[in-house]
Amino acid sequence: MYLPPHDPHVNDPMRFKPLFRIHLMERKAATVECMYGHKGPHHGHIQIVKKDEFSTKCNQTDHHRMSGGRQEEFRTWLREEWGRTLEDIFHEHMQELILMKFIYTSQYDNCLTYRRIYLPPSRPDDLIKPGLFKGTYGSHGLEIVMLSFHGRRARGTKITGDPNIPAGQQTVEIDLRHQIQLPDLENQRNFNELSRIVLEVRERVRQEQQEGGYEAGEGRGRQGLRESQPSPAQPRAEAPSRGPDGTPAEDGGEPGDAVAVAEQPAQSGQGQPFVLPVGVSSRNEDYPRTCRMCFYGTGLIAGHGFTSPERTPGVFILFDEDRFGFVWLELKSFSLYSRVQATFRNADAPSPQAFDEMLKNIQSLTS
């Protein structure tokens, strides 16, 4: 298992944890050992379910138990997974989310089903190289997101999930047709100014949808209006939960008077100063202070158990080839993403169609 670094250190390397090992014997025989727990290897089982899918089972789950009971198991898990103790976590909401994650993940006792994941195909005109990224998700800690490009859209698909948004769902979707021009540095600190700009872009997108300016298919331009509009049926990610009370935001927002969208191509290589607005929370304050360009996007938020999922507006900020960010407007929260530098052999999709089909399959598992 590849685990993200401890929150909020997105630039640190991934951590490796063995779960099973197989000893190949003579005459094509093999023994399987479960590596889970702290009592050493013990008997396990691996079964090939079908193509690109297998399951694992521990036959001695008592080896996973600790003498101090569930409390000791939880504290040990907290140190290993989060790099901290329960006493370090003062926020009650964060304690609740961490406990939920522990209960959810520990109940399987390393009896799991694995499905193959392809890395996204890369094209010369992609904004940056697609791939896996570590991202900050508020009280949920760090999660792994796959960034892929689809015509004039980019998608961030959760590879690891949380009690609100499960793995397989689209955490963010970026509309590469609508570039956002940030105000000067002083006005960037004003959240109301950023909100006005983003809601104005959202209104423009809605008008284009209503006027039928975009075809339904991906990557097909129509009468010079750039390309297809993102489908509203595709959900994705989140930050803390839905908000302190778990209620969705209003679906309105009056557009401002000034036009703040830069429709012209981005000036590559020319960075601009960037700072988060006052009042926007960030788990990692060590974000870049210069960005290349910004685009309008939407993020998925939901209540616990993926209830009442809703796409909400936000801003995608491209910092460099290996880092980007997303401002969740409704949550007043910022997620920072850093590229996973680990290399995975034999992980390329055999075709773009096979990759798209994989995305649909992993999303359908949790929809």
Q: Give the side-chain half-sphere CA count within 13 A for 252.
A: 2
DSSP code of residue 152: T
Q: Which residue has the tokens 């995975």?
A: 344
pTM confidence score? 0.82
CA gap 73, 234 in Å, rounded: 37
10 Å CB burial of residue 157 (0-12, 13-18, 19+) is buried
Q: Give tens-digit pLDDT for 296-305.
A: 999 999 998 8
Reduced to 3 states (helix: H, G, I; strand: E, B; else coil), residue 329 is coil
- One DSSP character per residue, 173-232 reads EEEEEEEE----HHHHT-HHHHHHHHHHHHHHHHHHHHTT-S-SSTT---TTS-SPPPPT
Contact 277, 317 (CB under 8 A): no
Q: Give the side-chain half-sphere CA count within 13 A for 275.
A: 12
User: Is pLDDT of 90 > 50?
Assistant: yes
pLDDT tier at 365, thresholds 50, 70, 90: confident
Sign of torsion, CA 208 209 214 218? positive
Which residue type does 252 have? G
User: Is pLDDT of 22 > 80?
Assistant: yes
- Those residues whose C-beta lies under 8 Å from the C-beta of residue 196, and which sit 6 or more positions away, are 256, 260
- One DSSP character per residue, 90-139 reads --HHHHHHHHHHHHHHHTTTT-EEEE--PBPP--TT-SS--EEEEEE-GG
Average pLDDT over residues 214-234: 36
Task: Using the CB atoms, write b or e for 272-299: b if 16+ within 10 Å.
Answer: eebebbeebebbbeebeeebbbbbbbbb
Contact 46, 54 (CB under 8 A): yes
Average pLDDT over residues 340-350: 92
pLDDT tier at 125, thresholds 50, 70, 90: very high
pLDDT tier at 91, thresholds 50, 70, 90: confident
Query: Of 16-30, 80-94, 164-178, which range is least confident?
Result: 80-94
Average pLDDT over residues 185-193: 94
- Average pLDDT over the chain reads 83
